[in-house]
A and B are shown apart, each in its own frame.
Chain A
Amino acid sequence: MKFIAFVSAKGGTGRTTLAANLSDILSREGHRVLALDCDPQNALGTHLGMVPGLRVGISEGSTSDEIIEYLSAQQGGVPYIPFGARDRDELLHAESTLMADPGWLLRRVLEVVPPAIELVFIDTPAGERIWTERVLEMAHAVVSVHLPDAACFATLPVMTAMLERRGRGSEPAPLVRHLLNQMESRSKLACDAEFLLRRHLGERLLPCSVPRDPVVSEAWAKQLSVAQHGPTTGAMAAFREISEILQAALLVDLQRNTSSGLQQAGES
């Protein structure tokens, strides 16, 4: 099981939309994928059929049995675990638990996610939050999402510092890739921002930017995936390319581990 985190320094970059749609694409291709919401906004599930305001979720306040029951009740589509609707005090309490017990989230995830799942796409809150920090500690890959605008550029040092800290941890550093979302190729600022980002990040910036496309927002409003609502759009083409890159980076490695594990089991 591998964890892919979607992070960004500021809100509104499209982390949730990317996590939902990339998990949908890989699920349609037959991979065993699960979407996990670690963002207190509790919005990831609304892409995937959840009723807004649902209480059950990964955050403290729901039991593991409740989450497993909710997962098993889902019919079709990408299985998902919401964050869970929580009030302010509950959020503060959950955050203090995460601060005091760094392993809490990973234990919880391993308790509730079926072991057959290959990839877990994790949505995180914007900026430096304890939820993001804990997700980064367990992530095998990180997709840092940017918009080609002034605000995103201004917050880029915050995000790179956060990812560098994670890279210095004792565990193997995750694969980190940056992604430009909602690219507007008619905007001079957007083009210059993309150019400068590429100069700074080199191959860490994914070659495929996601174009700004109203179909993405429309799909969400219809509680459909972009694959369902706009299968021939430019945004969908970019999503496909990104999913292929993630597959190449993670699933091949995963299959290699699995087959070597089976080989070892056979030898013993």
Chain B
Amino acid sequence: MAKDERSFSKQLIPPAKVMSNNIDCTSSIPECGPAAHESSSGMQPVESIGATSVASDVAALLAAVGGEQMQYIEFSSVRRELEARKRWPLLNLVSKLLNKKEMPADVTKPVALHKEGVTI
């Protein structure tokens, strides 16, 4: 549930910030630093992306933002997560442990993250 909310909020990050795939946290990664990607000042209002009357309608919002872009944003986040976990083995082990606890036992299918077939 929490992951869905995160993905949803990431759609609203301005593309100029999000498209940077740089893993150096001192430069343009929006997630780094206090309140970076959750800040309301960094978000594009729902109204401005053409979903005024159906803000709660996820399908309409996806259409307005563009499904491919959303997939790219999620892909970018996953890529950064993998880079971080590779860089710090201890953080990787703990992440695995936490993911194991969060994941329901019956979810075994790999998740397609990108239309070109990148899967985890």
User: A residues touching B (Cβ–Cβ < 8 Å)?
Assistant: 150, 153-154, 156-157, 160, 183, 185-186, 188-189, 191-196, 198-204, 207-211, 234, 238, 241
Contact = CB atoms under 8 A, between A and B. Distances in A.
A194 B31 contact: yes
Contacts of B32: 185, 191, 194-195
Main SS of the interface on chain A? Answer: helix
A191 B25 contact: yes
B84 A157 contact: no
A250 to B, nearest CB: 20
Closest 6 CB pairs of A and B: A191-B25, A202-B2, A207-B38, A192-B84, A191-B32, A209-B34
Interface centre among B5, B32, B81, B102 (most CB of A within 10 A): B32
Nearest to B32: A191
A183 B85 CA distance: 19
B6 A199 contact: yes
Contacts of B37: 198
Nearest to A238: B34
Given A191-B29, A202-B6, A204-B2, A154 B87 contact: no
A216 to B, nearest CB: 14
Given A154-B90, A199-B95, A203-B6, 10 more contacts: A150-B90, A150-B91, A156-B98, A188-B25, A192-B87, A195-B31, A195-B32, A196-B91, A202-B6, A209-B33
Contacts of B77: 199
Contacts of B102: 200
A193 B90 CA distance: 11
Give the residue among A192, A194, A211, A234 with the most B Cβ atoms within 10 A. A192
A193 B92 CA distance: 10
A121 B13 CA distance: 35
B42 to A, nearest CB: 10
Interface residues on B, range: 20 to 34
Interface in B57-99: 77, 80-81, 84-85, 87-88, 90-91, 94-95, 97-99
B115 interface: no
25 contacts: A150-B90, A154-B90, A154-B94, A157-B97, A157-B101, A160-B98, A160-B101, A185-B25, A185-B34, A188-B26, A189-B88, A193-B88, A195-B32, A196-B95, A198-B31, A198-B37, A199-B77, A202-B2, A203-B5, A204-B2, A209-B33, A209-B34, A209-B35, A210-B34, A211-B34
Contacts of B29: 191, 195
Nearest to A237: B34
B98 A157 contact: yes
Nearest to B1: A202
B109 interface: no
A208 B34 contact: yes
Contacts of A193: 88, 91
Nearest to B2: A202
A192 B5 contact: no
B90 to A, nearest CB: 5
B53 interface: no
Contacts of A203: 2, 5-6
Nearest to A151: B90
A196 B2 contact: no
Given A153-B90, A154-B90, A154-B94, A195 B80 contact: yes
Nearest to A187: B25
B39 interface: yes
